[in-house]
């Protein structure tokens, strides 16, 4: 009395001698909707990325771009606060003495720019390439293209962030979404991966429990061709495997006292309006996840949104991040990981010179010119690229947009930004979008 209900998958399998089903299976395989390691299409210089995200907009004129003439009074960008470092002679502020030791490893981009000076939109564009719509994040694109090097860990981990949009997979299969650990400003000693514990049951019982649930999921999937359900099945399997691997990586008790001190683990700086953040723990975890084969690790430090009391708050942020970043670069270099790990430092935009006001140091937003730096992973070491005008407000040479940065990061990983795409609703979606980007060949080693 009732016609049979056939899913799209079942219909294709039963008709046309199965050729339609084979075609769909081929397309699914081509998409690589799992974390199986995949060889890069191009020659790769890097295998993984550690993104040191400085949320709020670090002031380039007070950190890595020397403009002593800018500002109405002496400030951290004055001639007495900058020095040329290493054999490269790169200018680095005295606020970052530990990072300055690595000047000859850094590739400084002094002519970065983006589309807007609005925090939320620019932060989204930095992570996804689009400032208005939800799109896959950079980390999701990387794992979509390359998979993961560790069967028991996610390919993309986001530490200490409260913005799910920046680690979301959006239209990509859910397995490529970033796994968040901690939230903005949280005590990282308490941070963990949600819902992977389960000491209430023995491992073999949990396996049986999951097998039973997955059998029901797969039965439901056979009747309803839904990619989201396929993603749930995959992520549940990954979650089970992570129960044995992730807790050990999050446990720093086996690290030496000297290592913990170098990373300033446990030191939570809280000065002025800056939020306390155990940034050193994040950097040490990033090193451990990189060693374990995680493809993309994002480390976050907020509170760079400094409009008043700029000098005080900037000094606090530099104090909290400088030594851990240097320790991370030290360890990556000593362990032979820096050569194929691309480290990226920067925020959603920068800040111009100081302006007078009510006796306090004031500064605004600068999205037409700001600074990033990269290290390792196939970029030139001890190299400064790009130039701004006399006030540091506009790029005049070597301009690099977020889209160009994204294209370059993918290129160093062996991925072609023009070919790494996902089709949704008949539309091809790419990280660098319709406007595209260009690989910054001048910074390639």
Tell me how crowded residue 210 is: count the other CB atoms within 10 A of its CB: 15
Instruction: Look at residue 382 and tell me whether its pLDDT is greater than 90.
Output: yes
- Measured between alpha carbons, how far is 101 from 79 in angstroms, rounded to an integer? 19
Q: What size, in residues, is the chain?
A: 445
Residue 349 has pLDDT above 80, yes or no: yes
The answer to whether the beta carbons of residues 290 and 50 sit under 8 Å apart is: yes
Contact 425, 418 (CB under 8 A): no
The CA-atom distances, in angstroms, between 390 and each of 8, 68, 71, 84, 90 are 62, 10, 11, 19, 18
Burial (CB count within 10 angstroms: exposed 0-12, middle 13-18, buried 19+), residue 124:
buried
Q: Is 435 or 40 the better-scoring residue by pLDDT?
A: 40
Q: What is the pLDDT of residues 252-294, one digit of tens each?
A: 988 999 999 999 998 876 655 556 678 999 999 999 999 999 9
Alpha carbons 411 and 22: distance in angstroms, whole number: 32
259 CA to centre of own chain: 24
Query: How confident is residue 16, by pLDDT bands cut at 50, 70 and 90?
Result: very low
Alpha-carbon distance 56 to 70, whole Å? 21
Q: Does position 2 have pLDDT exceeding 70, yes or no?
A: no
Mode of pairing for the β-strands spanning 156-159 and 370-375: unpaired
| CA proximity to 330, closest of 159, 109, 99 | 99
- Residue given tokens 């001698």 in the structure block: 17
> Has residue 199 got a pLDDT over 80?
no
Q: What is the mean pLDDT of residues 163-190?
A: 80
Listed range (1-10, 63-72, 391-400) with the worst mean pLDDT: 1-10
Whether pLDDT at 197 is above 50: yes
Q: What does the pLDDT read at residue 281?
A: 92
Q: Has residue 29 got a pLDDT over 90? A: no
C-alpha count within 13 angstroms, C-beta hemisphere, residue 107: 20
- pLDDT for residue 205 is more than 70: no
Q: What pLDDT was estimated at residue 180?
A: 87
Phi/psi at 181 (nearest 5 deg)? -130, 110
Is 60 exceeded by the pLDDT of residue 165? yes
Q: What is the pLDDT of residue 249?
A: 83
Confidence at 354, pLDDT banded by 50, 70, 90: low
Q: Would you list the domain boundaries of the chain?
A: 139-196+236-275+415-445
Average pLDDT over residues 393-421: 97
Q: Is the pLDDT of residue 228 over 70?
A: no
Kindly tell me if the per-residue pLDDT of 27 is higher than 50: no
- The average pLDDT across 324-343 equals 98
pLDDT digits (tens, 9 = 90+) for 69-108: 765 444 444 435 899 999 999 999 999 999 999 999 999 9
Query: In DSSP terms, which residues pair with 401 in a beta bridge?
Result: 113
Could you tell me if 342 and 92 are in contact, meaning their C-beta atoms sit under 8 angstroms apart?
no
Q: Which pLDDT belongs to residue 36?
A: 86
Cα–Cα dist 152/148, whole Å: 9
- CA angle centred on 166, ends 352 and 231, rounded to 5°: 170
Query: In percent, how much of the chain has pLDDT > 90?
Result: 53
**Mean pLDDT value across the chain:** 82
CA–CA distance, 301 with 277 (Å, rounded to integer): 7
Average pLDDT over residues 406-410: 98
C-alpha to C-alpha distance for 99 and 326, rounded to whole angstroms: 5
pLDDT-wise least confident of 162-171, 197-206, 241-250: 197-206
pLDDT at 19: 40
* Mean pLDDT of all residues in 168-196: 74
User: What confidence tens digit (pLDDT) does each residue in 118-142 have?
Assistant: 999 999 999 999 999 889 999 999 9
């Amino acid at each position: 009395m009732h016609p049979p209900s056939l899913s799209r998958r079942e219909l294709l399998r039963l008709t046309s001698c199965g050729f339609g089903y084979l075609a769909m299976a081929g397309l699914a395989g081509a998409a690589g909707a799992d974390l199986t390691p995949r060889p890069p299409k191009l020659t790769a210089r890097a295998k993984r990325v550690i993104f040191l995200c400085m949320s709020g907009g670090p002031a380039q004129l007070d950190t890595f771009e020397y403009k002593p003439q800018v500002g109405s009074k002496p400030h951290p960008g004055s001639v007495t606060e900058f020095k040329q470092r290493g054999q490269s002679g790169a200018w680095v502020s005295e606020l970052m003495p530990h990072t300055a030791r690595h000047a000859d490893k850094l590739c400084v981009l002094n002519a970065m720019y983006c589309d807007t000076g609005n925090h939320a939109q620019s932060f989204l564009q930095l992570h996804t390439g689009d400032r208005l719509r939800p799109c896959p994040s950079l980390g999701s694109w990387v794992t979509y293209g390359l998979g993961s090097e560790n069967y028991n860990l996610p390919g993309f981990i986001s530490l200490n962030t409260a913005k799910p949009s920046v680690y979301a997979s959006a239209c990509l299969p859910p397995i490529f979404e970033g796994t968040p650990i901690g939230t903005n400003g949280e005590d990282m000693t308490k941070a963990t991966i949600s819902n992977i514990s389960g000491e209430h049951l023995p491992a073999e019982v949990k396996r049986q429990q999951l097998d039973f649930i997955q059998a029901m999921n797969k039965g439901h999937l056979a009747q309803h061709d839904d990619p989201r359900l396929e993603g749930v099945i995959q992520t549940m399997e990954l979650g089970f495997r992570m129960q044995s691997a992730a807790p050990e990586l999050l446990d720093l008790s086996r690290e030496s006292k000297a290592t913990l001190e170098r990373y300033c683990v446990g030191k939570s700086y809280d000065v002025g309006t800056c939020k306390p953040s155990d940034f050193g723990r994040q950097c040490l975890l990033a090193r451990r996840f990189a060693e374990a084969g995680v493809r993309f690790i994002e480390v976050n430090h907020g509170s760079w949104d400094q409009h008043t009391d700029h000098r005080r708050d900037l000094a606090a942020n530099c104090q909290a991040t400088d030594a851990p970043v240097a320790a991370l670069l030290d360890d990556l270099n000593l362990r032979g990981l820096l050569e194929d790990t691309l480290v990226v430092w920067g925020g959603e935009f920068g800040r111009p010179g100081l302006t007078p006001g009510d006796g306090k140091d004031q500064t605004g937003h600068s999205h037409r010119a700001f600074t990033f730096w990269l290290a390792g992973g196939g970029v030139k070491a001890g190299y400064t690229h790009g130039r701004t005008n006399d006030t540091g407000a506009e790029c005049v040479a070597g301009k690099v947009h977020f889209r160009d940065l994204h294209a370059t990061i993918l290129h160093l990983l062996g991925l072609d930004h023009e070919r790494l795409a996902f089709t949704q609703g008949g539309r091809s979606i790419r990280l660098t979008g319709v406007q595209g980007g260009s690989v910054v060949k001048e910074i390639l080693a």
